[in-house]
Structure 1
């Protein structure tokens, strides 16, 4: 992440700034040492300062491993102790020991840092006591100052690490938020594609049902009209040959024509209903398809005037009927299903009854499919119930409001 890189860069610059500032302070101390000391002492003290400078500048390089850092701290402290004992450089040694304690608190692991600092404080107290002959009170004061300095820098380290952890958590939350936004956009796109696919499936069902009606017209009415034409063409010859046979033929032609007219009126009535509510046409197509594929006998009864159904209502009723018929075939072992659709001014009620094998007084525990239908209906502001159908079987009742979704095509 670009923000993470900028954060790391800012932390690196801040760390380098602290190291540079400390280096300038140490250089100032080296200059003062050279001006006030002999050449040998100045050389020893300068060596101690340079050793500490190497330590702080190499911590992010070849001293990245904490074991190497610990070894470097031990060597530098031994150098400081040797200079203090051998050349009486206690001022310089104590200044750098303070710096070494601060380094322990900031750069060594917790337990190792505490162990090294305690060892330095104890050994320094021993040198003060045996070499400088300082009183116990002064040694105790120096030890408390050393411990206080360690506590101060340890607190600074804890705050720095806490801020780093907070920053890391913040970056992780930002990454997670970005991923959630991307997932949300993907889900919205998937939902849109699913809605489009549902509309296409409903339109395909409508087209399939209209194709079936057209085929029925061709097979029934077309055949009847063809028979009428053939008999009318033969009628003049029959009149000349046999009047009685001609009368019978004419009577038959009239019957066929009346039947064709009845079928035409029926189909026109169905088409008028289907044009008013394409969702109902999709339900009919589904019923015909299930009957052809499974042999299940399904009857459909429509009550009330059919009005234009809304897209979500049509899809919801289609899915509920589809799942109900699937359950009737797969689980109920039903041979007949009765479907009734009752449209009222404010709601549509669809009831699916089967003659399946269930004989209990209470309906069975709902499974994934039933729960899915109930959730669909409730999300649309409706309801879904499952009841027993005496003497055996189940009845599923779905009620859907008709004013909660946009119209088809809007």
Structure 2
């Protein structure tokens, strides 16, 4: 029982007892005071007894209140209503209705010798008080339910905030893993491409040293080839350095249209970008995976497929985002296709690992035009409720 309800309960006991002293002419006010203090003691002890004793105290209080009404008049109906407040909170439901019926019956027995108007007034007062008590109880339950829902919403808010922090941390881990993979790829490129070119240039220089004295024309031709090899190596070195030094922030860094624009500007091939559906914001981890997969697919299209046209299509749906990267290059041979479907090289393996890391799938369409399809699940704000 709440503090406010206890104040009402004791007010229904004390105030009518004081007023009845001035309204009624009792033969023995000391005895009345004793009975009233006994009723007050019964009401007070009922809320402090252990286990099932409060229910027994409430039943005794309702019977005692009916007896007080018989002995000291109609003003004692208010202490009876105080007892109603008590047992309706201790035993909500059908048991409370049963006790209220028992209480009303006891009050009618107590007022059996009174005038009809008093009995009608007593019954109407008790029934009205019972109805108001029920409304008060439901209002209290509604307030408790509201507070409970508020606590649940606050708890869900904290959980959502924690999930957001974990997701941002996960996105940072994905980005770091992708950067580490990119460093490995660039180092392999430097070793395999530029390193081999430099070894070849060294051998051509040694051959030119021996050829120039004997055949100047052949020696000059070899020097021209050496110059071309060095120029190509320098271009590759600049490209690798741009990739190493390129460290933009996440916002706008993984834009697919910008990737296509840079690819078309650097290589001169035809590019196309298409978006289907409503392009809603994606989580950083999804942006990173789409960007890395698109860049790897474009690199493979240029290096292995000798493509002259590439395109990217992104489809936004309610539960997933699908990116297709296609090209008009050469299709892989049967053995190459089997190798790609069973795991592929380091690039395709990295694409597959990145995609599965965020719960997505990676597919390849071998029929012309060759297309790499990345499907990633997306989580909107309502999914965390």
Place the TM-score, normalised by the shorter chain, in its bin: 0.5 to 0.7
> Is 2:164 aligned against 1:181?
no
Matched, 1:320 2:297: yes
Q: Quick one: which of 67, 72, 77 aligns to 2:57? A: 72
**2:306 match:** 340
Q: CA–CA distance in 1 between the matches of 2:297 and 2:190?
A: 22
Match of 1:48 in 2: 39
Q: Is 2:62–2:80's contact at 8 Å kept on the other side of the alignment? A: yes
Equivalent residue, structure 2, for 1:113 = 96
Please give the secondary structure, in 1, of the residue aligned with 2:81: helix
CA distance in 2, matches of 1:279, 1:345: 23
Deviation at 1:159, TM superposition (A): 0.9
Larger Rg over CA atoms: 1
For 1:401, the equivalent position in structure 2 comes to none
TM-score, scaled to structure 1: 0.57
The answer (yes or no) to whether the contact 1:83–1:89 under 8 Å persists in 2 is: yes
1:220-273 Cα shifts (integer Å, max 9, x gaps): 3334444666x58xx9xxxxxxxxxxx9xx46x986885575255235225415
Change (3 A) 1:205 1:350: farther
Residue 115 of structure 1: how far off its partner (Å): 1.5
**Residue in structure 1 matching 2:370, options 395, 405, 409:** 395
Structure 1, unmatched stretches of 5+, are: 1-11, 236-246, 282-301, 326-336, 360-367, 374-383, 399-410
Q: Residues 343, 259 of structure 1: CA spacing in aligned structure 2 closer, same or farther, 3 A cutoff?
A: farther
Q: Once the 2 structures are TM-superposed, how far is the Cα of residue 318 of structure 1 from its aligned partner? A: 3.4
Q: In 2 relative to 1, CA 120–305 (structure 1 residues): closer, same or farther, beyond 3 Å?
A: closer
> What is the CA distance between 1:18 and its match in structure 2?
4.4
Is the 1:385–1:396 contact (alpha carbons within 8 Å) kept by the matching residues of 2?
yes
Give distance in 2, aligned partners of 1:48 and 1:192: 70
When residues 305 and 203 of structure 1 are mapped into structure 2, their CA distance, relative to the original with a 3 A threshold, is: same
Are 1:26 and 2:13 matched, yes or no? yes
Q: How far apart in 2 are the matches of 1:344 and 1:21? A: 80
* Contact 1:106–1:153 under 8 Å retained in 2: no
Contact 1:386/1:395 (<8 A) preserved:
yes
* Residue matched to 2:191: 211
Q: Are 1:272 and 2:235 counterparts?
A: yes
Q: Distance in 2 between matches of 1:71 and 1:25?
A: 21
Range that drifts further, 72-81 or 312-321: 312-321
Structure 1 residues 70-118: Cα deviation after superposition (integer angstroms, max 9, x where no partner): 2221121233345556xx2344643321211233344431222111111
Give, in whole Å, the separation in 2 of the partners of 1:168 and 1:21.
25
Q: 1:209 deviation in Å?
A: 0.8
What do the CA deviations read for 1:184-233 (whole angstroms, capped 9, x no partner)?
2332343244334434432432232112234314533334444666x58x
Conserved? CA contact 2:205–2:223, under 8 Å: yes
Any stretches of 5+ residues in structure 2 without a counterpart? Answer: 245-262, 272-286, 314-324, 338-350, 357-362, 374-385
User: Is residue 33–residue 42 contact of structure 1 (8 Å, CA) maintained in 2?
Assistant: no
Question: How many corresponding residue pairs?
Answer: 303
Higher relative contact order (CA 8 A, sep 6+): 2
Change in CA separation of 1:226 and 1:216 when aligned onto 2, cut-off 3 Å: same
Cα distance, 1:171 vs structure 2: 2.3
Which deviations, in whole Å up to 9, do the C-alpha atoms of 1:22-75 show, x marking residues without a partner?
Answer: 4356344445667864133431232113312333xx2xx545x5x443222112
Q: Secondary structure at the match of 2:39?
A: helix
Alignment partners' CA distance in 1, 2:149 and 2:233:
65
Report SS of the residue matched to 1:396: strand
Q: Which residue of 2 aligns with 1:98?
A: 81
